[in-house]
């Protein structure tokens, strides 16, 4: 049975006060499409204002520290995200794995801290082009999933498959490659969590746009999207919500 689609924007290091009108417009469009779960992960500095600009809409963060508090200059913990009004967080994005040297074990600790606190949590995985060219994509991502998955309550867990070579490049993985990888991730989820692993939503990310979203959402085991560039403006993001709404029309939602 298909899961309700989850479409999340990742604003990365973009967004100041002038962009709040986009948050409001996206939230209003999402409210008109109740068949789809939607959210925006904005910079930490914008969370509280985004929540005020979009009451009732899911606003999230892009990282969280694995500890509850302490001497960690520059870091933000789960309680602070809740305090600011966030209800969602992304962990283990490839940009953080790369520039902040986050390892699978760090990502897992962050996911466990986030889920423990009650934040919906998206764990990101994905291979480099060199790994794909070497024919190691499925093995590499499967190992990443195994080592990054939280050993905690997973009711609010999602996984995002984001091939690094497809992020911000305009290149999208082929439907066959996405299907193969999402099936492999589903297998790892079921191995880790049993039947509950079938209810964890698996999002695709990497150059998702209004023009390619319908094709991506039609792939088996694609339960949503994690969207970078095309989430910054309502005019670009709303067509992706529309594609998700069309994909689930008539399909009973269980998530
Ligand atoms: P783009 O949609 O800009 O390729 O970014 C994808 C991504 O990294 C979302 O987390």
| CATH assignment at residue 164 | 3.20.20.70
Q: Residue 251 has what pLDDT?
A: 53
Whether 253 has a pLDDT exceeding 60, the answer reads no
Residue 155 half-sphere exposure toward CB, CA atoms < 13 A: 5
Burial class (CB in 10 A: 0-12, 13-18, 19+), 14: middle
d(CA 1, CA 123): 22
Q: Does 10 reside within a domain?
A: yes
pLDDT of residue 248: 77
123 lines ligand 1 (CB under 6 A): no
How many domains does the chain divide into?
1
Q: Is the CB of 205 under 6 A from ligand 1?
A: yes
- CA gap 147, 14 in Å, rounded: 30
> Over 60: is that where the pLDDT of 250 sits?
no
Does any domain span residue 225? Answer: yes
What number is the average pLDDT over the span 77-89? 98
In a domain, 40, yes or no: yes
Tell whether the model's pLDDT for residue 252 goes beyond 80: no
What residues act catalytically?
93, 162
Give the residue with greater pLDDT, 2 vs 108: 108
What pLDDT is stored for residue 127 in this prediction? Answer: 98
Q: Is residue 254 part of a domain?
A: no
255 pLDDT above the threshold of 80: no
Record the pTM: 0.96
Q: Separation of 91 CA from ligand 1 center, angstroms?
A: 14
Pocket test for ligand 1, best of 208, 224, 231, 240 (most atoms within 8 A of CB): 208
Residues 130-146 have a mean pLDDT of: 97
For 154, the domain range is 6-126+136-249
| Rounded (10°) CA dihedral 64, 69, 70, 74 | 30
- Does residue 1 lie within any of the structural domains? no
């Amino acid at each position: 049975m298909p899961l309700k689609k989850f479409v999340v924007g990742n604003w990365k290091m973009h967004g100041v006060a002038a962009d709040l009108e986009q948050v409001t417009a996206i939230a209003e469009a999402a409210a008109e499409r109740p068949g789809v779960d939607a959210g925006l992960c904005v910079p930490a500095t914008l969370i509280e204002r985004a929540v005020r600009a979009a009451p009732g809409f899911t606003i999230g963060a892009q990282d969280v520290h694995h500890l509850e508090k302490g001497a960690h200059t520059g870091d933000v913990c789960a309680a602070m995200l809740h305090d600011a009004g966030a209800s969602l967080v992304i962990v283990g994005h490839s940009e953080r794995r790369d520039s902040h040297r986050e390892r699978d074990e760090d990502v897992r600790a962050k996911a466990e801290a986030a889920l423990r606190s009650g934040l919906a949590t998206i764990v990101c995985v994905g291979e480099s082009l060199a790994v794909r060219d070497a024919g190691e994509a499925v093995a590499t991502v499967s190992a990443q999933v195994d080592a990054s998955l939280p050993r905690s309550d997973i009711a609010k867990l999602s996984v995002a498959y984001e091939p690094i070579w497809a992020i911000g490049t305009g290149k999208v993985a082929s439907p066959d490659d996405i299907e193969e990888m999402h099936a492999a991730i589903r297998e790892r989820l079921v191995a880790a969590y049993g039947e509950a692993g079938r209810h964890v939503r698996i999002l695709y990310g990497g150059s998702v746009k209004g023009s390619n979203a319908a094709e991506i959402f039609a792939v088996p085991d694609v339960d949503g999207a994690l969207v970078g560039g095309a989430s910054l403006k309502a005019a670009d993001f709303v067509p992706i919500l529309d594609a998700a709404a069309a994909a689930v029309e008539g399909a009973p939602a269980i998530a």
